[in-house]
Amino acid sequence: MASALVEVRHLSVVFGRGPTAARPVRDVSVDIGDETLALVGESGCGKTTLALALLGLLDHRARVESGEARFQGLDLLRAAPERLREIRGKEIGVVFQHPRGSLNPVLTAEEHTIETLRAHERMGRRAARARARELLGEVGLHDGTTRRYPFELSGGMCQRLAIALALCHRPKLLVADEPTSALDPTIAREVLALLVQLRRRTSLSVLLISHDLRLVAGFADRVAIMYHGRLVEVGPAHESLSAPAHPYTRALVESSPGFEHRHDGRRLASIAGSPPRAEQEFSGCSFAPRCPALEPRCTAARPEPVAVSESRSAACFRLAP
Query: Residue 171: its pLDDT value, please?
Result: 92
Query: Residue 272: its pLDDT value, please?
Result: 87
Query: Residue 38: its pLDDT value, please?
Result: 95
Q: Is the pLDDT of residue 261 over 60?
A: no
Enumerate the β-bridge partners of residue 312.
309
Over residues 52-84, the pLDDT tens digits come to 999 999 988 899 999 999 999 999 999 998 999
Considering 82-91, 231-240, 257-266, the range whose residues carry the highest mean pLDDT is: 231-240
**Percent of the chain's residues with pLDDT above 90:** 61
Output the DSSP codes for 183-208: S-HHHHHHHHHHHHHHHHHHT-EEEE
Q: Is the pLDDT of residue 226 over 60?
A: yes
**Residue bearing the bigger pLDDT, 268 or 147:** 147
Q: Is the pLDDT of residue 214 over 90?
A: no
Over residues 1-36, the pLDDT tens digits come to 457 999 999 999 999 888 889 999 999 999 999 999
Query: Residue 2: its pLDDT value, please?
Result: 53
Q: Is the pLDDT of residue 321 over 80?
A: no
Q: Is the pLDDT of residue 181 over 80?
A: no
Q: Is the pLDDT of residue 100 over 70?
A: yes
Residue range 144-172: mean pLDDT, rounded: 90
CATH number, domain 6-91+169-319, options 3.30.70.100, 3.40.50.300, 3.40.50.720, 3.90.1530.10: 3.40.50.300
Under the banding of pLDDT at 50, 70 and 90, the label for residue 165 is very high
Enumerate the β-bridge partners of residue 7.
31, 70
Query: Residue 187: its pLDDT value, please?
Result: 79
CA-to-CA distance for 1 and 47, rounded, in angstroms?
21
What are the sequence ranges of the domains in the chain?
6-91+169-319, 92-168
CA-to-CA distance for 32 and 301, rounded, in angstroms?
29
The radius of gyration of the chain's CA atoms, rounded to the nearest angstrom, is 21
Q: Give pairs for 125-131: CB < 8 Å, separation 24+.
A: none
